[in-house]
Structure 1
Amino acid sequence: MPKTLAYIALWMMLAMAVGYWTTPTAGWVLLTAGLSLMVLASGRQLTQIRKWVTDFSASPPASVGPWDEIIAPIYREIRRNSAHIKELDQHIDNIMLAAEALPDGAITLDADMMVTWCNKTACTHTGLDLQKDRNYSIFNILRSPEFNKYARQSTWPEPMLLHHTAHDHVERALQLQLTRYGADQYLVVTRDVTQVEKLETTRKDFVANVSHELRTPLTVLSGFLETLHDIPREEISDEQRKHYLDLMMQQASRMQAIVADLLTLSTLESSPTQAGEPVHMKEVIDRALEQAKLLSAGQHVFVENIADDLYIKGIETELASAVSNLLTNAIRYTPKDGTITTSWYLTESGLACYSVQDTGIGIAAQDIPRLTERFYRVDRGRSRATGGTGLGLAITKHVAMRHNAELHIQSRIGAGSIFSLEFPASRVMTPPSP
């Protein structure tokens, strides 16, 4: 029997007993008072229940009489549902965090191609500002006839390439893929392929340049070979034959130099960086200077300021290549009787600096940033005449990168140039013990 009915029955029995032993009026008064108290108690309990119903997040009333058996299972179900909702919210938050962390951009659109959400990467790629651009058409963000045509298709089996300039005024090559999801909703995935496109352009240019650089000496070689093959031996003098052979050897040597530099550059790019060992740079520079003076054949004045006790940690063969390339360039682009100054010293800030200064023809300011590109030449005709391969500074730049060094170029037309390699203090070493 419910507690309330038990209380009523007990109270009625008490009232009947009082009425029996005293007067009927006293019994009725007692019964009425009991019922009134029960009504007041029930009203208070209902008030507590009503207050709890307005805020299910709070705990239910401690005791509401007969309502306890009804409220208890409701409260247990509410707690289970709250825990489940909290778990779902956490799951959604994790999904959103994962979407924000994607390396690719993601933009969600509604059925009318209006922006509903995007991650930070998409903002960077397209210039979207979610607070301002939410519920705006994607066609107002990506204003391109190519994208408009692409998005209006019924299916999108392949991504499209779009060159887009965002609010940071940086032009990017974006790969866009549009797909449907959910109920009439769309997802745009953006990927920045600017660097990939640049690398592909560089690869094509590199192949074209290598083909061009090798085609010239090959043409000369084949031309002289045809001449020597077709002309009867008695119709060509020994002096002419020797002249043709000398020119052929020059072109063969040129091709060998190009191939050797290409192999060196490939090794520098593909091999892992090594810590190295102490390198006595004075010995490396002295050997390079001996070769440079042979190449100069007495046509230039050499000035040397080389510290004897300054070592650095690195790979000797790579450093020798960089040192030699800077000296060779100075000789090739400095007129006769010009001065070439080679220095190796410790700066006030603790950096080790190798520099080559010449009094040559100089370089225009607009050409300096491109000097380290493969096969880039300010004057192609002069470069070929001096025997350069167009790869020396590219090799030097890679050697610098592998030794945490920086290549600096200062030059002015008609005023000469200064090429310097600055090695960090962490690479500087004292002479090793004998």
Structure 2
Amino acid sequence: MRTAWLSEFLFLGLWVGLAALSWLLFDGAFGWWLASAFAVTSLRHIRQMQRLEGWLRSGRHSQPPQSWGVWGEVFEHYYRLQRRYTKRKKRLARVIREFRESTAAMPDGTLVLDTDWRITWFNNAAVRLLGLAGNRDLGQPVTSLLRAPAFEQYMREADFTRAVDVASPIRLGHLLAVRVVPYGRGQYLLLVRDITRMQRLQNMRRDFVANASHELRSPLTVLGGYLENLADDDSIPEVWAGPLAEMQAQCGRMTSLVNDLLELSRLETDAPGEPDEQPVPVPQMIRRIVGEAEAQSDGSRTIDVGIDDSLGLAGIERELYSAFSNLVFNAVRYTEAGGRIQVDWFCDADGSARFRVTDDGIGIEARHLPFVTQRFYRVDPSRSRSHGGTGLGLAIVKHVLQRHDGRLTMQSEPGEGSEFCCEFPRQRVRSLRPESARA
């Protein structure tokens, strides 16, 4: 670059020198000769700008004009920028092409949305699942093409951490899982998957469990009745006392398992309760649960309670009783004799209600915590069975809380104890009159 500028100054100096020489040889006004020198230099620059403009206007497809000095450097820099831009453009075009080819090959429907939820692109699977039609649907709001109240509420709330299930707009009886994934600046991917087969399998499993559990209830009741009569019959030899007691215990365990399966099946199929239901007298219910837990532990464990008598909850009482009792009875079951259990029902600072059960029992390793709400998951299978657990208690708790807009949080350390907390949103909280809380 220094050489280019040096050549420009030398060129200008050459013309100024010629002007001075002409003034000395031919006399006349020096200013006119100097103006002529600057005019020649300006004409050169104008000519080079004209060549640059012509090359840019032609689309820069040919080689840049050849020149020397600063203009040669300018032409060369423009040419390098052009090549760099062309390479970047080809790279971006290749990335976009690969993205479209990969998404077009996906079995799930994929739509690209802008900030106004308008469709800017979609793949072939979206055509098959949503019935989109070529360019006609490009630029249309996705809410006008997928008309479902659940989907419209999902888009209004903009909580894209989960998917929403909607009925297929083109195939009767089919169910679609729709999820929005934000990316870039104000852009979104809308993913659509057909979950009809999965839903049917889940329904078949749920119906089978419910029907099988229902059919088992009557035989177990009959068996339990006969075993009780045999155990009370004095004519039965003493040698049968042990086996009969074991059969009664196993029959009772089977009955508990069937009851829990039926309860879990009902929770999965029934419609959830509405927030505007009559308030549940939670303080009274908790005291009843604690009384049953104390009877179950035979006074060998200390159970302390902290209850806000003015705090109620909108929901279904039998479901809340099932969830709360499972947590309290689990604390009794997995706390050794002489241990302490704390049961609290209180209102948090943000207005939400919390039911918390804390114990100093055997605790749970951290690796088990994400799975303890799954059906039949057991941290210690032998201990769970010996204590009469069915492996369904926390699964029932999870489903009850989902139906009441709540969530379950857990903290535990092996040998230190556990804390289970049910959190209910503010809109579920109801105020109880003192007399209703003491009833």
Q: TM-score, normalised by structure 2?
A: 0.49
